[in-house]
Structure 1
Amino acid sequence: MSESGQKTPIFFTGNATEYFGIWIVNLLLSIVTLGIYSAWAKVRRKKYFYNNTLIDGVGFDYHANPVSILKGRAIAFVLFVIYSLSKNISPALSGALMLIFFLALPWIIVRGNIFNARNSSHRGLRFNFVGTVREAIRVVIGLPMLIPFTLGLIYPYVAHQHTKFIVAKHRFGTTDFDLDVKVGDFYKTYLKVLLFILLIAGALLALAAVSARLNGNHENLDGIRGLFMFGLFAGIFGILFFLSAYLHARLGNLIWNNASLDNLRFESNQRARDLFWIYTTNFILIIITFGLMTPWAQIRTQRYRVEHLAVVGEADFDKFVGDKKAEAKALGEEIADMFDVDLSFG
């Protein structure tokens, strides 16, 4: 790895007003066409965010064919309908279908990553994903099955191995990404989250005791109880936002700061308190505007994440060699989307 400390910032030039036009058209056409246009909407949305993410003044691009995505979604929808109907026919049949889907998860994740990577490019050079189903079986099925037998103690290791598999199996052209992150850092992150959850659980138990005393009081304390319950639920939402912000910031920094591409490495400096503020205010504004501030929230979040990331080293992209392979089918990614499987790694 190069010792050059040259830092190339990454910029996001997306505009909320401009993106609102794309978002509202995507939404309305998806509704009018009963979801058919959603495949084109996805390509337009991803293309906009890719094009406006710039390294050294050059943006990324997204090349997926909406028809391929639509075909994949159609197959995913048919499979979902079959599963839904099977629950009314036979519990054993629905259970068997769920088992088949579970066993197919490694293939779905691998194909989804291949499709997404090969349809992404920078400076005309495509990305790729070279992970195999055999490797995915270990991190998607094998290791997670040990979680209940270890009372969850193995979970940080499972997360570490899954993340390493996703990152290190990506390529830019023919150059492999690498991830040299210690499993101990994952344990430290999740241990802090666990301790925080235990402290909050203790506080909630104490508040529950106070609530029980208020409910047992026969005096007219309805107003106080109402304020108490409002504060309790607001606090719970705040805790969830904070935990999400902490994990996204900590794990995002951990992954990017230990990832590399040939002589290039990355530097991420996201802060949990910044993301907590962004997530909380985004949520409030989306609620009070009945969803109309969603584009602004998405642009705001993306800008923060992108502009707190930089490329470190001599960013000479001309030396990377492209890998001209056939484009992947969309089926894997779309089945994964249908069943809410997150394939992102940063």
Structure 2
Amino acid sequence: MSDKQQNGTVNFVGDMTQVQGLAIKTTLLTFITLGIYRFWARTRVRRYFWSGVTLDGHGFEYTGRGIEKLIGFLIAVAVLAIYLGIFQLLLTFVGMSMFDAGDPEGTGFQTFGATFLTSAVLAPLIFYAQYRARRYMLSRTKWKGIRFGAEQAAWGYAWRAVGHTLLTIVSLGTLLPRQTFYLEKYKTDRSWFGTAKFAQHGHWTQLYPAMRHVFLAVVLGAVAGGVLVAANAASLTTDEIIEPDFGRMFLGGTLMMVAVIWFYIGLLYYSLHSYRILARHKTLDGVVTFVSEPRTGRVVGIYLLASLAISFIAGTLASLFGVICGLIANMFVTKTITEVEILAGEQSPIVFMIGFFSGYIAFFILAAILTLIMIQLPIIRHYAETTTLRNSEHLDTVSQREGDDMVEAEGFADALDVGAGF
């Protein structure tokens, strides 16, 4: 069999015009319904993008329903309300005995402690929600009629994620590759396509090359900090008033700014290259392998240029819309107030608020529409077109698996606003 027959080609066949119409329609309906339609909006967007990604000419199918997401969200909100309510009662009881109310600094410490404990209690739920959201999406995804799936292991993932996160924090980020690898392995080893099981191979130390830009940025930041300290060293070692070395301060500030930008680009580089490394070491049923080569420059370019364009376009159009609404409001307000009130300028605050909030709402609506068109669409296209499956003919031997009801869908992820993106 030839290499061409053995390799599965992934493409994206979505159309920009259709995406524009979908983005405008779903965003406006979500706004008009005060957010309720977002469950159906996400379903429609997923259904379109899933079908747009093709493997060997066959598109994927998304079978999720908006009502599932709404019911799951309501269930999750009820559970979270009870859970957090009980925790807050316990926290109040413990706080009365742990903190000294007479201490003027006790209130601030108590607030900090309560915030920290609340975040700590929510952390397992956040990871739990992320795993369940992924499991739901897999259970509602099909290719050539064969459904994907994931095992019920959300709590196991949650506690492992908490442990790895704490280890990463204690190690000042140096063990981030370990966290990335083992959490990905946990999810992959419990994922299925029909009767074929995914597996993650390799070792976590293989991800360290992807961290190089993060490490270099940290080193540059340390150098910049040293330059800034040296610029003020003379004034720190004497009581005399000595002007700092402004040349060194400028150099140190410039280096620090470069280090911060480099650090964030380094995180994106790590995300992409760790994804590439992990993809190369994944298998399906021990036969099918994957190659995915998204390019950092391309992804950074999409995000950077699109963000600038979105800010300019949405900002300009929203400002014009706000001004127009303000002018229209001024016409109606002027007819309803007395001449004395006009001379006193009492219509100005009302007109200003109407114009401001109209422009504010318009900005977020336009930004949501343009983000789907200018960022999410190109990113999905790039990832699809840089992915290849080897030995893809083995997929034809895979049989169907049982369905996964998951009545609560992505409810917890929606309620906690994590892991439930389209």
Q: SS at the partner of 2:401? A: coil
- 1:220 is aligned to none
- 2:381 is aligned to 303
Q: Deviations over 1:145-170 (max 9, x none)?
A: 33344444433212211011112211
Percent identical residues: 20
- 2:311 is aligned to 287
Q: Is the 8 A contact 2:288 2:394 kept in 1?
A: no
Aligned pair count reads 331
- 1:155 is aligned to 176
Aligned equivalents of 2:50 and 2:297: distance in 1? 26
Using the TM superposition, give the Cα deviation of residue 106 of structure 1 relative to its aligned residue in structure 2, in angstroms: 5.4
Using the TM superposition, give the Cα deviation of residue 207 of structure 1 relative to its aligned residue in structure 2, in angstroms: 8.3
Of the candidates 166, 169, 191, which is equivalent to residue 145 of structure 1?
166
- 2:350 is aligned to none
Q: Is the 8 A contact 1:52 1:59 kept in 2?
A: yes
- 1:221 is aligned to none
Structure 1 residues 85 and 343, CA gap change in structure 2 (3 angstroms): closer
1:258 and 2:263 are equivalent in the alignment: no
Alignment of 1:97-112 (within 5 A): 98=119, 100-105=121-126, 107-112=128-133
1:60 and 2:60 are equivalent in the alignment: yes
Using the TM superposition, give the Cα deviation of residue 310 of structure 1 relative to its aligned residue in structure 2, in angstroms: 0.7
Q: SS at the partner of 1:322? A: coil
Q: Is the 8 A contact 1:139 1:158 kept in 2?
A: no
Aligned equivalents of 2:296 and 2:13: distance in 1? 23
Q: What letter is aligned with 1:278?
A: I
Structure 1 residues 178 and 86, CA gap change in structure 2 (3 angstroms): closer
Structure 1 residues 241 and 98, CA gap change in structure 2 (3 angstroms): closer
1:118 and 2:139 are equivalent in the alignment: yes
Of the candidates 195, 208, 213, which is equivalent to residue 215 of structure 2?
195
Aligned equivalents of 1:340 and 1:206: distance in 2? 40
Of the candidates 284, 293, 299, which is equivalent to residue 269 of structure 1?
293
Aligned equivalents of 2:222 and 2:186: distance in 1? 37
Alignment of 1:5-44 (within 5 A): 6-44=6-44
Using the TM superposition, give the Cα deviation of residue 183 of structure 1 relative to its aligned residue in structure 2, in angstroms: 1.1
Q: SS at the partner of 2:399? A: coil
Q: Is the 8 A contact 2:146 2:193 kept in 1?
A: yes
Q: Deviations over 1:256-282 (max 9, x none)?
A: 111111221111122222222222112
Q: SS at the partner of 1:143? A: helix
Q: Is the 8 A contact 2:213 2:263 kept in 1?
A: no
**Considering only CA atoms, is the larger Rg found in Structure 1 or Structure 2?**
2
Q: SS at the partner of 2:198? A: strand
Using the TM superposition, give the Cα deviation of residue 240 of structure 1 relative to its aligned residue in structure 2, in angstroms: 5.5
Using the TM superposition, give the Cα deviation of residue 284 of structure 1 relative to its aligned residue in structure 2, in angstroms: 1.2
- 1:168 is aligned to 189
Aligned equivalents of 1:129 and 1:19: distance in 2? 29
- 1:315 is aligned to 393
**TM (normalized to structure 2)?**
0.67
Q: What letter is aligned with 1:272?
A: T
Aligned equivalents of 1:160 and 1:249: distance in 2? 13
**TM (normalized to structure 1)?**
0.80
- 2:416 is aligned to 339
Q: Tell me which moved more, 290-299 or 88-97.
A: 88-97
Using the TM superposition, give the Cα deviation of residue 202 of structure 1 relative to its aligned residue in structure 2, in angstroms: 3.8
Q: Is the 8 A contact 2:221 2:255 kept in 1?
A: no
Using the TM superposition, give the Cα deviation of residue 188 of structure 1 relative to its aligned residue in structure 2, in angstroms: 3.2
Of the candidates 261, 267, 272, which is equivalent to residue 249 of structure 1?
272
Q: SS at the partner of 2:64? A: coil
Alignment of 1:221-240 (within 5 A): 238-239=261-262
Structure 1 residues 182 and 84, CA gap change in structure 2 (3 angstroms): closer
Q: Deviations over 1:87-111 (max 9, x none)?
A: 9988648667655533445543443
Of the candidates 142, 150, 159, which is equivalent to residue 129 of structure 1?
150
Structure 1 residues 245 and 278, CA gap change in structure 2 (3 angstroms): farther
Q: SS at the partner of 2:34? A: coil
Q: Deviations over 1:220-251 (max 9, x none)?
A: xxxxx9xxx9x899857853652243123201
More helix by share: 2
Q: What letter is aligned with 1:296?
A: M
Aligned equivalents of 1:343 and 1:31: distance in 2? 19
Using the TM superposition, give the Cα deviation of residue 77 of structure 1 relative to its aligned residue in structure 2, in angstroms: 4.4
Q: Tell me which moved more, 275-284 or 62-71.
A: 275-284
- 1:177 is aligned to 198
Which runs of 5 or more structure 2 residues have no equivalent in the other structure?
94-113, 233-241, 244-249, 315-366
Using the TM superposition, give the Cα deviation of residue 253 of structure 1 relative to its aligned residue in structure 2, in angstroms: 0.7
Which runs of 5 or more structure 1 residues have no equivalent in the other structure?
218-224
- CA RMSD in angstroms comes to 3.7
Structure 1 residues 206 and 144, CA gap change in structure 2 (3 angstroms): closer
Aligned equivalents of 1:314 and 1:334: distance in 2? 34
Aligned equivalents of 1:124 and 1:267: distance in 2? 24
